[in-house]
Amino acid sequence: MRSAAESRRLFWSVALGLLLADIVSKRVAERVLLPIPPVEVMGDWLQLRLVYNQGAAFGLHLGPWSRWIFLLIAIVAVVLLYRVARNSSPRDLMRQIACGLVAGGAAGNLIDRVRSAQGVVDFIDVGVGATRWPTFNVADMGVSCGAIALAISLWMEDARRSRAEAAAQSVSRDPA
């Protein structure tokens, strides 16, 4: 059985591990990929291409205040994710890891917004020909995978709660 302190350590270990991987990968990308053209890793399908994103996911932009709005959203997200992880069952490892991934990714992109008005460093380019996914980074992968894992964790908790309620109702109706 995991203690609450161990769960918090798992959250922080995942968040800091992802943050470190994100920072290192972005600094390497900035040094290696500028000013050369895209580097093909797996042909046209996977390339390394340095771009700076001043907006949010998929290039969402909110005008001249985007940097500060997204900075504030990231800070709030990290705080809320820590609270979700802290208030979750210590046995729910998926929730601890999911919250750590999203928080670490949000923090990685937050650091880019603070560090430079150029925006978030993105460098992973996936697609075929002119059909490309928006360029992303390690932090974005953590946020995406963590969000999916968090949704699954919440769904599993809801399913467990529904089964427990159904079992309690059937016991209370049993005349024996």
**Which pTM was predicted?**
0.84
Give pLDDT tens digits for 102-147. 999 999 999 998 898 888 999 999 999 999 999 999 999 999 999 9
Structure tokens at 34: 């500028």
Identified catalytic residue from 92, 112, 122, 125: 122
Q: Is 158 a catalytic residue?
A: no
pLDDT per residue as tens, the chain (176 positions): 567 777 789 999 999 999 999 999 999 999 999 878 899 999 999 999 999 988 766 566 666 777 778 788 889 999 999 999 999 988 899 999 999 999 999 999 999 988 988 889 999 999 999 999 999 999 999 999 999 999 999 999 888 888 888 888 877 776 65
Q: Is 122 a catalytic residue?
A: yes
Contacting residues for 173 by C-beta, under 8 A, at least 6 apart = none
d(CA 35, CA 21): 23
3-state secondary structure the chain: CCCHHHHHHHHHHHHHHHHHHHHHHHHHHHHHCCCCCCEEEECECEEEEEEEECCCHHHCCCHHHHHHHHHHHHHHHHHHHHHHHHHCCCCCHHHHHHHHHHHHHHHHHHHHHHHCCCCEEEEEEEEECCEECCCECHHHHHHHHHHHHHHHHHHHHHHHHHHHHHHHHHHHHCCC
Contacting residues for 45 by C-beta, under 8 A, at least 6 apart = 126, 127, 128
Identified catalytic residue from 22, 92, 125, 140: 140
Query: Where along the chain do its domains lie?
Result: 4-173
d(CA 120, CA 102): 16
